[in-house]
Structure 1
Amino acid sequence: MPSVLDTIWEDRDVRFDITAQRMKTRPGEVLIDCLDNIEDTKGNNGDRGYILLLSFLGRLLVTNLRIIWHSLTSPRVNLSVGYNSVINITTRTANSKLRGTTEALYILTKCNDTRFEFIFTNVVPGSPRLFTSVIAVHRAYETTKMYRELKLRGALIQNKQLKLLPQEQMCDQINGVWNLSSDQRSIKIRDSKFGLALVIESSQQTGGYVLGFKIDPVEKLQSTVKEVNSLHKVYSACPIFGVHYEMEEKPQPLEELTVEQPPDDIEIEPDLQTDAFTAYLADGDKPQDREPVFSEELGLAVEKLKEGFTLQGLWEVIS
C-alpha cells in the first residue's frame, strides 16, 4: 500500500487540462486567494480566433499547495502548478494580447526533468494582488518544509525541550527508546537482531527510509504502535501542510469557483499551436546547443530547430 504522502501530487506536479475532480481541494488543501481577469499569456501563443483568445482569460486560484488557472469560457483549458516544482518566480515585462506591454508574473518550474514556463497577466490595471498573493504564499510554502519532509539529524531540541511547530501538539512522551536505524510511514512491529522493534517506513517522496526503534517491555511497544497508528490515521484524514497565509477577504470555496466541464460538441485537430505541453515548454534544460544551420528565411546561421518546429511558428509563440 502506498503512503498517503505518495498519493499527494498537488504540490509536486505540473499538470495540464485536469478533470474537474482533480481541480477540487484535497484534504488539508485550503484556498487562500482567488483572482479573476487573469490572462494565461504564455499559453496564448498567437492569433487563433476570437473564441479561443477569450479562453485564455480566466481565473487564478491560489491554495496552500498549488496554483490553479482555468478558463471561464473553456473549462477544459486549465493548469495546476505545484509549489514544490517551482524553480523561480519573478515579475517582468510581457506582451499581453489584451493589455499590450505590461508587467507579468513569470513562473519557471521543473517536473520530471522537464522545464515549463508560465506567464500570467492581470488585465485589470493597477492590481498588484497577482504578484503579492502568489509570491507570498510560495514563500510560506518554502519556509515550512518541516511539515512535509523527513528531516534527519535536524536541530529539533532547544534547552532540552522539543521545538514544536505551529499547530503541532505533543501527545505523549515515551522514555527508554533505542534508535536502531543505521542505513535507512507505515507503522508496524518487526523482528530485528535486537528483538521486536517499532518500524516506521517513510514515503518514497521523503526517501523511502526505514526507521527502527527498540521499546521495552513488549506491552509498551504494542501500545506505542497502536497510538502512533491512530495518530497517523487521524493526520492522514486531514493533513496539516504548514502553509499559513490569510487574505483580508476570504474567497469562496474552490468547488464554487470552478466550472463544470461539459462534453465537447466540436472536435479540434491538435497541432503545435494548441498543444498545451509544447506551449509551456522552457527550452532551458537541453543537454547542449544544437548544431548551427543556415536559414534562408533570415539569411544567417541559427541553431537547428527541433523536429516539427518552424521559424514562423516560433515567432507566433513569442509575438
Structure 2
Amino acid sequence: MDSVLMAVVIPRSQKPSLYATMPFWEDNEIRFDVPFTQMKLRTAEKLIDKLDSVEDTKGNGGDKGRLIVTNLRILWHSLSSPRVSLSIGLNTILNATTKNVISKLRGPVEALYLLTKTANNKYEFIFTNLMPGTTRLFTSVIGVHRAYLSSKMYRELKLRGAIIKHKQLQLLPLEQIVRTENGVWNLSSDQGNLGSFIITNIRIVWHADMNEHFNISLPYLQIALVKIRESKFGVALVIESVETSGGYVMGFKIDPQERLKMVYKEILSLHTVYSKCPILGVEYTLSNEAILPEDPPTLPEPEKELDLSSEIISRAINSYIADDDPESMPRPPVYCPDLGLAVEELKEGFTMQDLWEVLPPSEFVQKQNAERIANNIP
C-alpha cells in the first residue's frame, strides 16, 4: 500500500498518553459579535498592528471602530458599541485586495476588501481607514495574510512534501533538530517501510530511505495522541493526528524497545514545551510608519453578555453574505405567499422576513426606547 498511514484501532475508552492542546479556532473561523473572552489574544497569538479609526463599511457603515491584526486573525469592534465586533480567521480569507467603495464617513474612497469562506458560505468584508493619506491598513492585512499562507508547514500535516533533500531536512526558520533516529519502520503496509525519524522543536518528520518524497511532516499542533501499544509487528509507537487534520493514525516500529521508549519520552517532552509556547511561524515586520507600544492591544471593556439566539445571529451576518459567482446558474423563481409574487429562490437558511429586517424586532424596540428616553419623548 502506497501510503504513510496505518489503520490502527485505538479504544476510545482508554485514556491516551497525550492530548493535543485545545485546537486553534481563531485562524479557521469567522465569528460575529464575539464576547470579550474570545476577543482576548490567546497563547502564541501576537499583536502585529492596531488601527483606531477604521469603518466596517459593508456591515456597520458610518460606525467608527478599531481594527486589530494578529498572526491568526483580524479583529474589529465598534468604538460606540463594543459588542458589535468581528473575528476573521486568516485561514478563511480567499482574497485580500483593495476596492473603490463609498464610505458613509469618507465618501468615495479606496478600501480593504476581503473575500472569505467558511463552511458553505462566502462573506465579504470592506474596511475603510478613516485617516486619509495612509496605506497602512492595506499593507498590514495583506502582508500578514501572505506571511500566514507561506508558513503553513508550521501548522499543518503534510504528506509527500518537498521537505527532504539529499536525506537532509529542509529546516524552517526558527526550527532546530533535536533528535534523529535511523532504522524506523513505518507500518503502513504488510512489509513496512524502512526510514528515519527527524524530531525537531516544531514537528515530527519521517521519510523513507529509498524514496525521500515518501514522507510525512506532523507539527506538534496537530498531534492528538502518542502511545506505545501492541501491533501485529510487535510493540509500536502510535501517533494520531487531530480530527481537523483527518484523524490519521500512524504506527512506527523502533528496535530495541529501550530506544522506542526514549523516542516516546522525547516526543512527549517536546510536545509539552511546545504547548506552553507554540511556534506558529507567522513572522511580519511593520514598516517605520507604525511603531506599536509594548502593551497588549486595547480591547473593548467586557459588557454583560446578551443571550442572542442563533436566529438573531444569522440575521446579523446577512449584510456580509458575498454575491454569487456571476458565472454560476441563477436560482429558479418560486412563488412567495408573503408578497404574492414570484421571486428568486432564497439561499438555504434565509427567509423573506430576514431580508426586510435590518435589526431583530427585540433590538429595534430597545433602540427605539433608548432614543425616546434620550429625546425626552413620552
Q: TM > 0.5 between the two?
A: yes
For 2:352, what is the secondary structure of its paired residue?
coil
Would you say 1:259 and 2:300 are equivalent positions? Answer: yes
**In the alignment, which residue of structure 2 is the partner of 1:171?**
178
Superposed, 1:182-221 pairs within 5 Å as 182=189, 185=223, 186-221=225-260
Q: CA 1:274–1:251 in structure 2 vs 1: closer, same or farther (change >3 Å)?
A: farther
**In the alignment, which residue of structure 2 is the partner of 1:85?**
92
Q: Match for 1:36: what amino acid? A: D
Give how far 1:17 is off: 1.1
Q: Match for 2:265: what amino acid? A: K
- Normalising by the residue count of structure 2, what TM-score does the alignment of the two structures yield? 0.71
**In the alignment, which residue of structure 2 is the partner of 1:39?**
55
Asked if the contact 2:71–2:144 (Cα under 8 Å) also holds between the matched residues in 1, the reply is: yes
> Which structure 2 segments of 5+ residues have no match?
1-15, 191-215, 217-222, 337-341, 359-378
- Over alpha carbons, which structure has the higher Rg? 2
Asked if the contact 1:5–1:205 (Cα under 8 Å) also holds between the matched residues in 2, the reply is: no
Equivalent of 1:109 in 116, 119, 134: 116
Q: CA 1:25–1:273 in structure 2 vs 1: closer, same or farther (change >3 Å)?
A: closer
CA shift digits 1:62-111 (9 cap, x unpaired):
11111001111211011000011111112111110001111111111111
Q: Match for 1:237: what amino acid? A: K
Asked if the contact 2:32–2:313 (Cα under 8 Å) also holds between the matched residues in 1, the reply is: no
Give how far 1:273 is off: 11
Give how far 1:192 is off: 0.9
Report sequence identity in percent.
Answer: 53
**In the alignment, which residue of structure 2 is the partner of 1:60?**
67
Q: CA 1:272–1:21 in structure 2 vs 1: closer, same or farther (change >3 Å)?
A: closer
Asked if the contact 1:11–1:66 (Cα under 8 Å) also holds between the matched residues in 2, the reply is: yes
Asked if the contact 2:227–2:237 (Cα under 8 Å) also holds between the matched residues in 1, the reply is: yes
For 1:172, what is the secondary structure of its paired residue?
strand
Equivalent of 1:308 in 348, 352, 357: 352
Q: CA 1:273–1:67 in structure 2 vs 1: closer, same or farther (change >3 Å)?
A: closer
- Normalising by the residue count of structure 1, what TM-score does the alignment of the two structures yield? 0.83
> Which structure 1 segments of 5+ residues have no match?
46-52, 296-300, 315-319
Asked if the contact 2:315–2:354 (Cα under 8 Å) also holds between the matched residues in 1, the reply is: no
**In the alignment, which residue of structure 1 is the partner of 2:208?**
none
For 1:138, what is the secondary structure of its paired residue?
helix
**In the alignment, which residue of structure 2 is the partner of 1:50?**
none
Measured in 2, the distance between the counterparts of 1:57 and 1:143 equals 32
Give how far 1:3 is off: 5.1
For 2:318, what is the secondary structure of its paired residue?
helix
Asked if the contact 1:32–1:250 (Cα under 8 Å) also holds between the matched residues in 2, the reply is: no
For 1:42, what is the secondary structure of its paired residue?
coil
Equivalent of 2:80 in 61, 73, 81: 73
CA shift digits 1:265-308 (9 cap, x unpaired):
x999x99899422121224279852334799xxxxx97456632
**In the alignment, which residue of structure 1 is the partner of 2:141?**
134
Structure having greater relative contact order (Cα 8 Å, sep ≥ 6): 1
Asked if the contact 1:38–1:57 (Cα under 8 Å) also holds between the matched residues in 2, the reply is: yes
Asked if the contact 1:150–1:206 (Cα under 8 Å) also holds between the matched residues in 2, the reply is: yes
RMSD, aligned CA: 3.3
